Structure 1
Amino acid sequence: MRVIVDERERDSGIPSILKSKGVRVVYELLEVGDYVLSSKVAFERKTLPDFIASIFDGRLFKQIKSLKEHYEKPVLLLEGDITRIGEFTTKTKAVLGAMSAVSLGFEVPILYSCDKEQSAEHIYIIALRLHRRGESKQPITVPKVGKKIDERIKVLTSLPGMGPTLAERTLEMFGSLRRVFNASITELMKVKGLNQSRAEAIYWLINSNYTQSVKEEKQTKLDSS
């Protein structure tokens, strides 16, 4: 039983739970959806804060539209306590309206979960059902919509401890590579997921003198020989 998972979901905890249930997880940088269970079924997963943010920055309906266009049976997986909407925005009616638009306008069903464990269970149950019907054994075709991975993301993922999700989060905070490269350790640590050791490693790599580093490395090799 196989599930294709977007690389940016790696740190969500859900892929690890799926693996513990015997699911073979395959990571890819997906352009549409977050979890692809078959050529017909795909999940877009959103935590409640991300769902709310995506309404107001215009991402939500573009993502749902693309999901609907590329998969016969798309699903929106909404993770979080919806009674807490008011903690993230004063525009509760707009959020509820967006939920209605997804389920009634786009005709994309919404599955609700309270945490990552329940989200993983939702995915597992449907993946298991598809497997028993033989659908998961068929080749899964992942749609390509012509969108290239941002070159700036590629640059940042070459830094120590920087995966695609963290790279995207860093760019969203700083706005440009120049600002990232000019940032102090303290500023880098403001990015969620960038702890002190990672921030220090990145800062050292960006700001260390190449010639001096090479000399020190050669001297170390001579001293140890």
Structure 2
Amino acid sequence: MDNREDKKMLQLLRIMNSQYNLGVSIKMEFLEVCDYIVRGKDSLVGTVGIELKEKDDFVASIMDGRLFRQVMEMHVNFDRVVVIVIGNLDEVYSKMPDHSKIGALGALVTKFGTSVIQAVNREWAAYLIISILKHARTTIDMTKIFKPKATSEDRELGAISCAEGWGIKLAREAVKYFRIRDISNIDNPITLSSKIRNVGKIKAQNLINLFSGNEGEDFITYVDVMIFEKYLRMILDKDTIIKKLVNKLRKLI
């Protein structure tokens, strides 16, 4: 941390360091190109340089070009560069129009590859710095980011829920007794309604109509056809069956 920075920030960082039990050392020293440096052997993203800018100073440094020169120098010295803007830029009175302020933010991100974050106040900024420090030292659990691959049953649920009056809840009830291949061979709605809870003859007939290509033109749309076709292609291995059903549905549009 730059020894010219506000001492209140040092206090906030030490309190949060203790609160989150991070066990890191926070030092104050003279820094030439930024306000904070996140570094350490256990960092997974290398060294992170962080520059704090009050809203007025941020606008002024854009207008005189200081910020862009500083960011370029930071990219030479650090693996990641972050600029935290404290306060609302709308409240800054200057000759610089709002669209130019926003344009400068976009330039920092796209042309310089800099992460730009706005904080309400210095307390928020301190939380951001601690958060950056915390995440720089921890791996990302990818299972929390990517959804698991859809199963065959998930795809069948999607196809059945395309019928008029149906949804995922009813579709789940349906697959307890029938698979799609079974439904496509059923002509009598009572066969479905007698087994599936909360499904009467009308909804049962709607499901039969969907898989026989006789869906009503008031309900079916081109988008519905595309979604239905997608699910069928995932489930059925017979292209001729798919084409036959989809062609019937397309004629209704």
**TM-score normalized by structure 1?**
0.52
Quick check: 1:6 aligned with 2:2?
yes
CA 1:83–1:7: 2 relative to 1, 3 Å: same
Residue pairs, 1:60-79, within 5 angstroms? 60-79=67-86
Q: What is the aligned residue count?
A: 127
| Paired AA for residue 46 in structure 1 | K
2:125 is matched with which residue: 112, 119, 123? Answer: 119
Same amino acid, percent of matched pairs: 28
Q: Say whether the 8 Å CA contact 2:84–2:118 is kept in structure 1.
A: yes
Deviations 1:162-209 (A, max 9, x none): xxxxxxxxxxxxxxxxxxxxxxxxxxxxxxxxxxxxxxxxxxxxxxxx
User: Greater strand percent: which structure?
Assistant: 1
Give 1:81 deviation, angstroms: 1.1
Larger relative contact order (CA 8 Å, sep ≥ 6)? 1
Quick check: 1:47 aligned with 2:46?
no
User: Greater helix percent: which structure?
Assistant: 1
Residue pairs, 1:158-169, within 5 angstroms? none
For residues 105 and 124 of structure 2, the distance between their equivalents in structure 1, rounded to whole angstroms, comes to: 20
For residues 96 and 81 of structure 2, the distance between their equivalents in structure 1, rounded to whole angstroms, comes to: 29
Give 1:70 deviation, angstroms: 1.2
For residues 110 and 9 of structure 1, the distance between their equivalents in structure 2, rounded to whole angstroms, comes to: 19
For residues 90 and 40 of structure 1, the distance between their equivalents in structure 2, rounded to whole angstroms, comes to: 33
Residue in 2 that maps onto 1:105: 111
Residue pairs, 1:23-62, within 5 angstroms? 24-38=25-39, 39-62=46-69
For residues 126 and 55 of structure 1, the distance between their equivalents in structure 2, rounded to whole angstroms, comes to: 24
Give 1:58 deviation, angstroms: 2.2
2:10 is matched with which residue: 7, 10, 15? Answer: 15
For residues 6 and 56 of structure 2, the distance between their equivalents in structure 1, rounded to whole angstroms, comes to: 19
Residue in 1 that maps onto 2:228: none
Residue in 2 that maps onto 1:80: 87
CA RMSD, 1 decimal: 1.7
| Paired AA for residue 3 in structure 2 | E
For residues 26 and 50 of structure 1, the distance between their equivalents in structure 2, rounded to whole angstroms, comes to: 25
Give 1:51 deviation, angstroms: 0.4
Q: Say whether the 8 Å CA contact 2:63–2:96 is kept in structure 1.
A: no
Give 1:78 deviation, angstroms: 0.9
| Paired AA for residue 68 in structure 2 | F
Out of 111-120 and 92-101, give the one that drifted further: 92-101
| Paired AA for residue 122 in structure 1 | L
Residue in 1 that maps onto 2:21: none
Structure 2: give runs of 5+ residues left out of the alignment.
19-23, 40-45, 140-253
- Secondary structure at the aligned position of 2:99 is classed as helix
Give 1:132 deviation, angstroms: 4.2
For residues 17 and 71 of structure 1, the distance between their equivalents in structure 2, rounded to whole angstroms, comes to: 24
